[in-house]
Amino acid sequence: MRECVPTSEVAFAVNDVSYRYLEVPALAGLSMRVTRGERVALLGANGSGKSTLLRLLAGLCFPEHGDISFYGEPLTEQRLENEEFFYRFRRRVGMVFQNPDIQLFNPSVFDEVAFGPLQLQWPGDQVRRRVGETLDLMGIAHLRDRAPHRLSGGEKKRVALASVLVLDPEVLLLDEPSAALDPGSQAQIVEFLVSWRDRSKTVITATHDLDTLEDIADRCYVLENGAVACEGTPLAVLHDVALLERTRLVRPHHHVHREGVTQPHPHLHRHHSD
């Protein structure tokens, strides 16, 4: 059993949550909790409910059944209509979508990163200073005047991340942050996730990339058909090959033995760079 955590330290509590897209179930009675400063990975094949769960945690949609709370306060559509709660929540929680193209809409990288602070009515000098610091942090200062839609996939992902990090949120929700990137860009994103091991931020990452799991997460939830199939440490999950196969995170490999018989071996092949 997990140790008892004070309510004040529980960032998100998700209780028996269900959600559908039209008549298609996306989440079905899912429960989980994330404490302050944790790095949690949501694992699952496509269609398992990872992205939907992140959108609910971000307050972009709301459960049909069950409830979600953020540090003990109900996260509901009605609560977010309260201006004070809305701005406080948006200041504390940031989300980076899997496809940065749906997140980037301003004419320049500078404008993109400045958009959030301007919406929160920060003073102009503070906006310029903070945007400059964030562009430097992400290694994209040289792109400040470029149009986001003309950037490479890795550059777009870093701009999208910068547009969230500029607000210095307490909680980061990341949907497949390294998906569809070249190896160099993937390594940069993972490096940022690793740098948050100091527990200064609560990070929830939806992914099906097992190779970086031990680097980016302290704890995992494996999702299957919109529900939690397993909770555990990255090491425990990676060693549960039957679970990984059942949830379509790995597949059996077939090898030909010396006697010429092909047999399946349900073990996980992982690759490490030098």
Domain boundaries, the chain: 7-226
pLDDT at position 266? 45
Mean pLDDT of the chain: 87
pLDDT at position 265? 42
pLDDT 10s digits, 62-78: 999 999 999 999 999 99
pLDDT at position 138? 86
- What average pLDDT does the segment 221-244 reach? 95
Where does the pLDDT of residue 225 fall: very low under 50, low under 70, confident under 90, or very high at 90 and above?
Answer: very high
Class of domain 7-226 (CATH, top level): alpha beta
pLDDT at position 262? 47
Percent of the chain residues past pLDDT 70, beyond the cut: 87
Count of CB atoms within 10 A of residue 70's CB? 20
pLDDT at position 33? 96
Per-residue pLDDT at 28 exceeds 70: yes
pLDDT at position 181? 73
pLDDT at position 120? 85
pLDDT at position 42? 97
Per-residue pLDDT at 251 exceeds 60: yes
Where does the pLDDT of residue 121 fall: very low under 50, low under 70, confident under 90, or very high at 90 and above?
Answer: confident
Where does the pLDDT of residue 199 fall: very low under 50, low under 70, confident under 90, or very high at 90 and above?
Answer: low
Percent of the chain residues past pLDDT 90, beyond the cut: 63
What is the reported pTM?
Answer: 0.86
pLDDT 10s digits, 146-169: 999 999 888 898 899 999 999 999
pLDDT at position 253? 60
